[in-house]
Structure 1
Amino acid sequence: MIKLLNIIKFFCCYLWSLINFTRILIINIIFILLISLLCYYIYNVNHRKNINNKILRKNNQVLEINFNENFDNESFYKNNLIFKLFNIFSSKKNNDPIINIVNAINFAKKDKNIHGIILKLHNLNIYDIPNLRYIGKYLNAFKASGKKIYAISDMYDQNQYYLASFANKVFLLPYGHVKLYGLNFKKFFIKNFLKNLKIQTHVFRVGQYKSAVESVLRKDMSNDDKIVMNQLINNLWDDYLTTISINRQLTKEEIFPTDENFLISLKKSHGNLALFALQNKLVDKISNNNDFEKEMIQNFGLDKIKNTYNKININDYIKLYIDNGIQKNNGNIAVITIDGIMMYGKNGSDIITNKINKVYRNPKIKGLILKINSPGGDILAAKAIYNELILLKKIHKPIVVIMGKMAASGAYWISTIADFVIADPVSLTGSIGIFSVVYNISDILDLVGIKKDGINISDRFNNSINEKLSSIEKKIMSINIKTGYDEFIYLVSKDRNLPIEKVKKIANGMVILGKDAKKYGLVDDLGDFDSAIIKIAQLTKIKKVKLQWINVNTFSPLDYFIKSNNFIISNLIQNYINFIFNKNFSLLNNEKFLNSEKIYSLYVI
């Protein structure tokens, strides 16, 4: 018996020693790994810096901008798997990618080592004209300094070609083409689709041209909407062609001929689209990558180490020259971006309001530049952000709004609070109106033999998706929509110092361009981000503006679509199928599933 106990004791002691040894070994391995990673990080950063410093000391370099990359100081770490796990050591993003690009171009203009720029436009990931125009302004300034710009791509879509037009010489690969097709505005109309699915639709709106709801009310586009949108896209296209015409020194007809003339020219080019582009002076040379490289070697010399032309990548250039000038949490002017569809709650407006509140509480920050690129969204989100911005006005921290591609409807609601509003000539803004769409699937339930019945004290705020909308609920929603519209008009009148009657004339839900918005008094000036910096300096009386970029995870379109009417249809189809095949009936007892007040009935502006 004693021997057995000794054996057990020995075994337990051995097991414990083994466990303890394993524990210590694992801890030591982790510790050594962390130390190794830290040493590797320090060596890698310094090594890269030393190498790149040597590269930048070379003369007659060309700055290569590959638009398939991320233009921020995280690019190196994003591509490094190890540092994805230990990103606490890596630099944090303190700037906007577009701002990084223009800062690099501006610095290169004065850099004696940089003699040119190459725009590699194969995978351009910038899609709006205001940003492209802003980059183009700095490219023109670079050219004015006497330095050359070269653009190359396998093919050019309209955005790629817009930016390429700022170059001194445009190259096209032999199999490529320039794809100019104008603008269009088309959408699906689902009235019959909803009818076939037996889905009832209740629409509440104020604003004759608030055409977002036409897709559920009509089978086709209304004449009023066609007239408005036709005028809008023609103005946008004319602005596009005007810029190309100036840059390429061609007439608008030469850039975008009629269909008849296009086909005549294409036949002369034997159907070769690359040759067509060359013969019509849309590009300057057809060249493969090898020939292009040889020409760039002739212009900028040979890098014997890399066996290519003497170049510096823009990300390396930003990292070494631009990042050093970025303010690290000690700026005097905050910059906050609102990008995407606005939604209310912790995953939407709360993120923005929290950032605005930090600006409010930070005594070092004297003003705010609000970059807006949003079509609008939930009225509650707009109100929440607007009310938070009021706090800044109360403590005399000026607000300057700079509109991007779009700042319409609810996004314009937010803009009205600003001390100064700047738009691009083709920013889409206005759309002063409000609507709500409520869907009902009670007829689907009837079809499969399901009926909801019972008693309740009141039908108020009980717009469930599986019950018909009561008369009192319809009246409540109509009143709410009208009240929201009146509040919108009042805010525009008060904040923009416009007579209420003048506001009513343009408060019909119509989308207008930035240049027209200035005529109506909806914005103060036309310009870009540089204009916003100049204005905030004037309002705050700060001689040297130091920007502090307050980065946020802005409104997620996916989260919004899950809760918005546009995405409801797919959910309804799935629910419809479930009901038909008698599956997932347990969902009917789920209160969250049936709560259409939060999910299916959004007041959108």
Structure 2
Amino acid sequence: MSKNTPGPLMRFLRGIWNSINFARRLVFNLVFLFIVAIVLVAMFSGGIKLQDRNVLVLAPQGQVVEQFSADPMSRAMARAMGQPQPETQLRDLLRAIEAASTDARIERMVIRPDQMTGIGFAMLQELEDAITRFRKSGKQIVAYADGMDQRQYYLAALADEIYLHPDGMVLLEGLSRYRAYYREALQDKLGVDVHLFRVGEFKSAAEPFILDGPSEESREADLYWMNDIWRRYLDDIARLRKLDAATLQASIDDLPNQVKAAGGDLGQMALQQKLVDGLMSQDQFRALMVERGVEDAEIHSFRQVAMDDYLGFLNRERLPLDTRPKVAVVVAQGEIAAGDLPAGTVGGISTSRLLREAREDSNVHAVVLRVDSPGGGVFPSEQIRREVELTRAAGKPIVVSMGNMAASGGYWISMNADMIYAEPNTITGSIGIFGLFMTFPDTLSKIGVRVDGVGTTKIAGAFDPSRPLSPAVGETIQAIIDQGYRQFIEKVAHARGSTPEEIDRVARGRVWSGAQAEQFGLVDELGGLHDAIAEAARRANLGSGEYALHYVEKQLSPFEKIIVDATNNAAARGLASHLGLSGRMLEQPVAQELRRGLRLLESPPEGGKPFKTVAHCFCEL
């Protein structure tokens, strides 16, 4: 055997490597051919043909959000292969409703709310406003569901008629907010010393780490804003369904007896309470819609167009180049943290960059900052607030539209706008900051570990969590938190034309509904995104129809744009489905809901501090 001839082991390993390499190239080529096929079908199929007498089916899937948290390629591939979508953008729902109201090819709308897993009350108000404008066109709205929780039911209640599966249920239960409390587990069981530094007796975000249950201030504040939102919910349902709100509340409180009276038939109970107009199975509902409209023999149902297909059709109809002045919308959705972060979160660097991009675009005449955030780090919040201030100073109107929540840091980034809009059911306020520092010397001692040593100054090693926290250092941290709170209320007072003393009366970490905040002068007007956009345009001297709406987001690469556009084509999606390819082949994990509590404290401190100051509100419903 030659010296250069590999031995049996090397030949075996080389063979394995060649096999793996071949498999890798094969999979890559198959994926590439699959993508090319979708693009070609999309290019030459001409897209869906929207016929007359169509029904727009509004069926939100997953969580309704301001901005997708998954990357565009993941969504496009999942959509191409017919996978359920975990999120639906509010802007897409609003755009489809608005376009359909004036589209002669759409004769009615069907709402299917039961695949919607979550939506905020402020978003529901946005949808009600859009559907009210749709109803003025004279077109019918019908809702059907297999079963509904109270948020799904609100969406259904916006229809002229509601039909429920005979075995379905409408569950209205009220609002609640319960949290786990860890004091005993952390301090008594594990020996962790928890040091909370805060200003404001109502700043309850970190109470679970130091108490066994909510403080009286927390109970009082939570019930105050929750009762306001719940009362508005009942009033809205009563108005939409021509019921009495007090009677509706009584029936919810008396649920066990109501179920017994209906013989356990939850569908009949909903019918008797006039929450729905009829009980029918899905095939019966399809037959009803065929009778009122046109049958589509190919799908054995009524002629219909799904929201995504309808929007894809509108995109192809749209002029390729719109030279009108722009009103830009920047979305700030999710927790506020330092750095350059992806969509679905608010980054001190990334969100600031989007605001700066809008400010420096000569074709953008006004900016709307859409905020749906419980807050987060003080430092990144201040970075974003400064960009709002600079945009206003540059002479471009900037209007804030608060979504479901703009609390604590979410209010911080909002306060310097020319005008602030909030829905009555928006959760806002929570003006306050806190810091949480945990030390573990007792925990270590339980397993026989002791920490000791020397330092060159009195504070050297003071922020080591394995050592007890010095009272003097604790006082220092509290002084910094106090200063941060003063800075917060002084900035609010300056932005709102008030005084720190007046702001302090409605601050101290207390949460308010949008309607309550408007009474206290924390917001200017009650209204939604539609109102905020109109106000921004008005301030820029742009009349209706004289401007284009432009969402400022991270730009897609040319390849990503081709794929995303292609998967909006029904024929291309059909090809992907018939190929029988599993969605797992290209699936990437979709961003999950960010962990609360400790996640904020685990992330690195900002501004050079050895600890983190947080402006966060744990006040979601």
Q: TM-score, normalised by structure 2?
A: 0.80
TM-superposed CA distance for 1:31, in Å, is 12
Q: Counterpart in 1 of 2:227? A: 234
Letter of the 1:283 counterpart: V
Give runs of aligned pairs for residues 309-458 of structure 1, distance below 5 A.
309-322=302-315, 324-325=317-318, 332-347=326-341, 348-458=347-457
Distance 1:492 1:263, change over 3 A: same
Structure of larger gyration radius: 1
Q: Which moved more, 1:167-176 or 1:260-269?
A: 260-269
Distance 1:203 1:147, change over 3 A: same
| Separation in structure 1 between the aligned mates of residue 27 and residue 258 of structure 2, nearest angstrom | 68
Contact 1:356 1:388 in 2 (8 A): yes
Q: Counterpart in 2 of 1:497? A: 497
Structure with the bigger percentage of helix: 1
Q: Counterpart in 1 of 2:485? A: 485
Letter of the 2:497 counterpart: N
Distance 1:558 1:129, change over 3 A: closer
Contact 2:339 2:349 in 1 (8 A): yes
Query: SS in structure 1 opposite 2:413?
Result: helix
Distance 1:415 1:34, change over 3 A: closer
Contact 1:340 1:556 in 2 (8 A): no
Contact 2:427 2:513 in 1 (8 A): yes
Contact 2:330 2:553 in 1 (8 A): yes
Q: Counterpart in 1 of 2:550? A: 548
Contact 2:398 2:419 in 1 (8 A): yes
Q: Counterpart in 2 of 1:526? A: 526
TM-superposed CA distance for 1:604, in Å, is 3.6
TM-superposed CA distance for 1:253, in Å, is 3.1
Query: SS in structure 2 opposite 1:186?
Result: coil
TM-superposed CA distance for 1:67, in Å, is 1.6
TM-superposed CA distance for 1:42, in Å, is 4.7
Give runs of aligned pairs for residues 95-110 of structure 1, distance below 5 A.
97-110=89-102
| Separation in structure 1 between the aligned mates of residue 597 and residue 213 of structure 2, nearest angstrom | 23
Distance 1:127 1:491, change over 3 A: same
Matched residues, percent identical? Answer: 26
Contact 1:255 1:282 in 2 (8 A): no
Q: What whole-Å deviation, never above 9, does each CA across 1:158-189 have from its counterpart, x for those lacking one?
A: 11000000111111112110000101121122
Contact 2:329 2:550 in 1 (8 A): yes
Contact 2:63 2:88 in 1 (8 A): no
TM-superposed CA distance for 1:329, in Å, is 9.6
Contact 2:425 2:515 in 1 (8 A): yes
Contact 1:62 1:312 in 2 (8 A): yes
Among candidates 133, 152, 157, match of residue 160 of structure 1? 152
Q: What whole-Å deviation, never above 9, does each CA across 1:253-311 have from its counterpart, x for those lacking one?
A: 34332467544433331111111001111111111111111111111121122221111
TM-superposed CA distance for 1:438, in Å, is 0.8
Q: What whole-Å deviation, never above 9, does each CA across 1:547-567 have from its counterpart, x for those lacking one?
A: 2212259998637756434x8
Q: Which moved more, 1:361-370 or 1:521-530?
A: 361-370
TM-superposed CA distance for 1:395, in Å, is 1.6
5+ long unaligned stretches in structure 2: 6-21, 342-346, 556-589, 617-621
TM-superposed CA distance for 1:362, in Å, is 2.3
Equivalent residue pairs, number = 545
TM-superposed CA distance for 1:477, in Å, is 0.7
| Separation in structure 1 between the aligned mates of residue 26 and residue 456 of structure 2, nearest angstrom | 67
Q: Counterpart in 2 of 1:470? A: 470
| Separation in structure 2 between the aligned mates of residue 133 and residue 153 of structure 1, nearest angstrom | 20
Q: Counterpart in 2 of 1:142? A: 134
Q: Counterpart in 2 of 1:209? A: 202
| Separation in structure 2 between the aligned mates of residue 380 and residue 31 of structure 1, nearest angstrom | 43
TM-superposed CA distance for 1:327, in Å, is 8.3
Give runs of aligned pairs for residues 170-185 of structure 1, distance below 5 A.
170-185=162-177
Letter of the 1:181 counterpart: E
| Separation in structure 2 between the aligned mates of residue 471 and residue 264 of structure 1, nearest angstrom | 57
Q: Counterpart in 1 of 2:18? A: none
Query: SS in structure 1 opposite 2:126?
Result: helix
Q: Counterpart in 1 of 2:561? A: none
| Separation in structure 2 between the aligned mates of residue 561 and residue 328 of structure 1, nearest angstrom | 46
Contact 2:113 2:152 in 1 (8 A): yes
Contact 1:338 1:374 in 2 (8 A): yes
The answer to whether residue 265 in structure 2 is matched with residue 268 in structure 1 is no
| Separation in structure 2 between the aligned mates of residue 33 and residue 448 of structure 1, nearest angstrom | 55
Q: Counterpart in 2 of 1:303? A: 296
Q: What whole-Å deviation, never above 9, does each CA across 1:311-370 have from its counterpart, x for those lacking one?
A: 111111111115654988976222111111211234432221222222233222232211
Q: Counterpart in 2 of 1:589? A: none
| Separation in structure 1 between the aligned mates of residue 340 and residue 352 of structure 2, nearest angstrom | 10
RMSD (Å) for aligned C-alpha atoms: 3.6
Letter of the 1:528 counterpart: G
